Structure 1
Amino acid sequence: MFEAAGGVVCVLAVVATMEALRLSTARRRVLWEIGALGAGVVVAQALGGSESAVLSVIVALAIAGCAAAVCRHLGLDRAPRLTHLQGPIAAAALASTLFGPSDTPLFAVLGAAGALAGVAALARARRFAPNDSLHFACAGVCAVIGYVAGHEQGVLAVMIVIAMAALIAFHLTMALAGTAWPALVSTMNGIAACSVVAAGVVTGNGALLVTGVALAIGCAASHASAIESRGPYLSK
């Protein structure tokens, strides 16, 4: 995975998760349990990996922590803009594994800094909400990513195909039914997030692992909120 892309998706995943947690009415205990489980996965990967894998996890955790601090300090999570983009963030993270070797962690830091600047600029703009046409286009992109991954071999390719199938279902549901089925939408995003976590474990990539854990927590918060409210978990 390109480390620059890893830094970008890691920041976007953290911001989207903080937005989801602000919107969620789920019990804090459940979210803490999910977060603890994710932290356990990250620590286990760091302890069991090579030196480069450990360094990758440390850099990714530092990026995630800085992103959360900046997000909270600037109030970037007050006006949700990225929560409904959890699926595309997962797709971008998985798609980046299909290209070239990794760069140095420095590129991850630079990518994260650029992503934070972009999110801060987005906070000054009007809220962006994908329309039906964009969801259909994203479904097509996911189909292409799944097709490319299908020609590869190994467990990683299988996980990418499964995640893309879930994301195609997510985008088609959003295009045809909007937020009428929030629990189904968050479930499809959660499947993709878990695939990102699994891909991070398989590849030993810290940015991918932390991104997947952050997305999984955000999807769980959205799902719990949807179940409790029995209504749309995203406001248009």
Structure 2
Amino acid sequence: MFDVAGGVVCVLAVVATMEALRLSTARRRVLWEIGAMGAGVIVAQALGGSESAVLSVIVALAIAGCAAAVCGRFGLDLKPRLTHFQGAIAAAALASTLFGPSDAPFFAVLGAGVALAGVAALARLGRITPNESLHFACAGACAVIGYAAGHEQGVLAVVIVIAMAALIASHLTMALAGTAWPALVSAMNGTAACSVVAAGVVTGSGALLVTGVAAAIGCAASHASATESRGPYLSK
């Protein structure tokens, strides 16, 4: 995985998760359990991997921690509303695995800094709400990623294809039904987030692992919010 892309998606996943947690006050125990399981996967991957894998996990955790601290300090997770793009973040993380080998961890930090600057700019501009056209475009992009992965061999290709199928269903649901099926959308996005964790285990990428765990927690929070409110998907 390109470490630049790894840093970017890691930051975006953390911001989206913090937004989702602000919207959901119920089922905290479930969210903590998901986080604990994710932490266990990350620790197991770090202990069982090579020195480079351990360094990758440490850098990814540092990026995630810094992103959470900056967002909490300056309230950057209040307006951009990246919860609408949870599936797109997972798709970008998986697509980056098709591009080639990773760079030095320095580039992951650089990518994270650029992503934080972008989130800060979005926070000044206000919330962003995708329309039907954008969801159709995202569904098409996921189809292209799935098609590219289908020409590869191995477990990673299967994981990506499954995730893209889930994300296509998610984006088409949002494009055609709007906010009518929030629980289904969050469940499909959660499937993609779990696929990111699986891809991180297969590739030994700490950025993918941390991104996937953060995305899974965010999707669980979105699902809890949709279930408890029975209202429009993140409409407030």
Using the size of structure 2 for normalisation, the TM-score is 0.98
Give me the whole-angstrom Cα distance separating, in 2, the residues matched to 1:143 and 1:224.
Answer: 28
Aligned equivalent of 1:155 = 155
Give the CA deviation at 1:35.
1.1
Give me the whole-angstrom Cα distance separating, in 2, the residues matched to 1:61 and 1:134.
Answer: 31
Aligned equivalent of 1:86 = 86
1:1-236 correspondence runs (5 A): 1-235=1-235
Question: For 2:125, what is the secondary structure of its paired residue?
Answer: coil
* Bigger mean CA offset, 224-233 vs 167-176: 224-233
Give me the whole-angstrom Cα distance separating, in 1, the residues matched to 2:176 and 2:24.
Answer: 24
8 Å CA contact 1:23–1:233 kept in 2: the answer is no
Give the CA deviation at 1:79.
2.5
8 Å CA contact 2:57–2:205 kept in 1: the answer is yes
Give me the whole-angstrom Cα distance separating, in 1, the residues matched to 2:140 and 2:29.
Answer: 38
Give me the whole-angstrom Cα distance separating, in 1, the residues matched to 2:16 and 2:185.
Answer: 15
Give the CA deviation at 1:37.
1.1
Give me the whole-angstrom Cα distance separating, in 1, the residues matched to 2:127 and 2:98.
Answer: 31
Give me the whole-angstrom Cα distance separating, in 2, the residues matched to 1:113 and 1:106.
Answer: 11
Give me the whole-angstrom Cα distance separating, in 1, the residues matched to 2:232 and 2:51.
Answer: 44
Give the CA deviation at 1:80.
4.9
8 Å CA contact 2:63–2:112 kept in 1: the answer is yes
For structure 2, the residue ranges without an aligned partner over 5 or more in a row are none
Give 2:22's aligned amino acid: R
Give the CA deviation at 1:232.
2.3
Give me the whole-angstrom Cα distance separating, in 2, the residues matched to 1:196 and 1:232.
Answer: 27
Give 2:121's aligned amino acid: A
Give 1:221's aligned amino acid: A
Give the CA deviation at 1:111.
0.3
Give 2:198's aligned amino acid: A
Residues 20-41 of structure 1 show CA distances to partners (whole Å, capped at 9, x for unaligned) of: 0001132322221111111111
* Bigger mean CA offset, 163-172 vs 31-40: 31-40
Give the CA deviation at 1:179.
1.1
CA RMSD across the alignment: 0.9
* Bigger mean CA offset, 11-20 vs 222-231: 222-231
For structure 1, the residue ranges without an aligned partner over 5 or more in a row are none
Residues 152-171 of structure 1 show CA distances to partners (whole Å, capped at 9, x for unaligned) of: 00000000000000000000
Give 2:174's aligned amino acid: M
Aligned length: 236
Question: For 1:76, what is the secondary structure of its paired residue?
Answer: coil
Question: For 2:180, what is the secondary structure of its paired residue?
Answer: coil
